[in-house]
Structure 1
């Protein structure tokens, strides 16, 4: 019998604590990619649930959540998904940063008219299903991911300024996605993430490019592909506005994280230190009233991000 990985064990504990309300648990992010996760890095989970209230009620009953169920249920419908920390035994059994999302919101986020790019930009990358309620649920998740990846040319063609192969499409996609959020990591983070999943993009996007040629959206140029016709100014404006709206929604979501994600401030400080090599010492006012006094430091970090990530 194959021994379960730490991520699988943690996902199993989350499912048990959720009392039958979870449909699937997906692993994504730096722990999956091996993109220099720190010793204390959290696993990144996307958790699909049947019902928000049932999930949060079960978590509270299991002693794994200390926010009011009514508040978490209400916030679940405001800029979904909701980010929570799952840290059984005070984190001794591992920590997962969980995006909690209903199947309906998940389908919309990966569909042809997503409200923003928050989930889509993360899940067109490499994803592993850690747990699913049934084979049918696993197949449904796989179909949603496949459809989202098959549709990337819809929003990527306006950003293809030069010919690309499958790997090049993946690199450009990450540049666009990372530019669509304010992030504390070094400016070359998208390239580091790309380097860890080149094979995923080659395997996933070669068929996408071929179908683009068949549909007339792309034309071959040697071993690469380019838009058959340049995107119109109207199309470029449409997607520029979409990513601006997405960036705004992602920024507003920070305020929600402050409520739903336990110990969000130490987590954020550790993440910035890990990716920038800086030591951050918060003042007493920043620790006690971060919503008021932390903003100057946040803005400073965003404006002075190093060009290259600190390499261990």
Structure 2
């Protein structure tokens, strides 16, 4: 799969940004905490916020490897087996939730070889590259974003009608991608996501089409996709499996968060309540066994409303 230079050029113009001044103290702290840090990605709903003190900033810290990122080998192993590791950080008035992942690992995770959509579904959406160690790290980070777009379209276009608007492609893909995680979004929320970023979605679609393994013709904001019926049926089967897999992965990631940083149980409960609508209470006795608490309470919430 060859990523077009046109797509990389566009992403270099769109994604490469100077960090907001309010983020600079956090970035300096990250550079000290993770000596092998290679790049920092900024994504999520607050990417377009002017006042970052009112939101929880979402960041991805990309390191050279896991051994050099942690003094604790257990954290390195957990990051490798079930990426990413998620932590909290705050500096001055900025609060951030940041994930740590090796650069090589994320490069692999945004390709079609990575079955679940957790990574390529996330980074196909607007993302900013706000820090990089050197030109090679910058280039690799941009290729990650480009590959995520191509993989997302390759895996989701067969779900959409044979013809329609580019908007239909993305709303269909985003719907399935969010359903495969602990973060289902309402049609209204997805529509707002499209409206805020429609120029980005249209631009990357135009530039990603040459890399797709099937024929799709674009005319302004409309498309015609010539995809065999067998491939469309296979796509629906794959997404059914991803949704089932996503429930398991969501619970495991939340359980892991209980052990990887202070306040992990509270973070996991907040995550479940935010995305499932279920407010859970964990007795003090169960807090001493966070894995059991999250498996029992979290799994019940996920089955009822977490991932539909």
Query: TM-score, normalised on structure 2?
Result: 0.76
Encode CA deviations 1:126-168: one digit per residue, 9 max, x unaligned: 1101110012211221122113213433211321135343333
Q: Residues 121 and 177 of structure 1 are in contact (CA less than 8 Å); yes or no, is this contact kept in structure 2?
A: yes
Quote how far apart the aligned CAs of 1:118 are: 1.5
What's the Cα RMSD here?
3.6
3-state SS of the aligned residue for 1:139?
A: helix
Change in 2 beyond 3 A, CA 1:275/1:118: closer
Change in 2 beyond 3 A, CA 1:189/1:8: farther
3-state SS of the aligned residue for 1:46?
A: strand
Residue from 49, 54, 57 that aligns with 1:43: 57
Residue from 227, 233, 239 that aligns with 1:229: 227
Report matched runs for 1:123-142 at 5 Å: 123-142=123-142
3-state SS of the aligned residue for 2:163?
A: coil
Structure 1 position 5 matched with structure 2 position 21: yes
Q: Distance in 1 between matches of 2:235 and 2:19?
A: 50
2:147 — aligned with what? 147
Change in 2 beyond 3 A, CA 1:36/1:252: farther
1:310 — aligned with what? none
Q: Distance in 2 between matches of 1:236 and 1:111?
A: 19
Q: Residues 28 and 128 of structure 1 are in contact (CA less than 8 Å); yes or no, is this contact kept in structure 2?
A: yes
3-state SS of the aligned residue for 2:126?
A: coil
1:80 — aligned with what? 83
Q: Residues 258 and 268 of structure 2 are in contact (CA less than 8 Å); yes or no, is this contact kept in structure 1?
A: no
Change in 2 beyond 3 A, CA 1:277/1:183: closer
Quote how far apart the aligned CAs of 1:231 are: 3.6
1:64 — aligned with what? none
Change in 2 beyond 3 A, CA 1:296/1:76: closer
Query: TM-score, normalised on structure 1?
Result: 0.75
Report matched runs for 1:1-312 at 5 Å: 4-19=20-35, 21-34=36-49, 39=54, 41-57=55-71, 69-87=72-90, 92=92, 94-161=94-161, 163-183=163-183, 189-209=189-209, 211=210, 217-219=215-217, 223-232=221-230, 233-242=233-242, 244-270=244-270, 283-285=283-285, 287-293=287-293, 295-296=296-297, 299-300=300-301, 303=304
Question: Number of matched residues?
Answer: 287
Encode CA deviations 1:222-242: one digit per residue, 9 max, x unaligned: 952132134413454345435
Unaligned runs of 5+ in 2: 1-17
Q: Distance in 1 between matches of 2:305 and 2:112?
A: 36
Encode CA deviations 1:229-265: one digit per residue, 9 max, x unaligned: 3441345434543554355334322222221143123
Quote how far apart the aligned CAs of 1:274 are: 6.2
2:7 — aligned with what? none
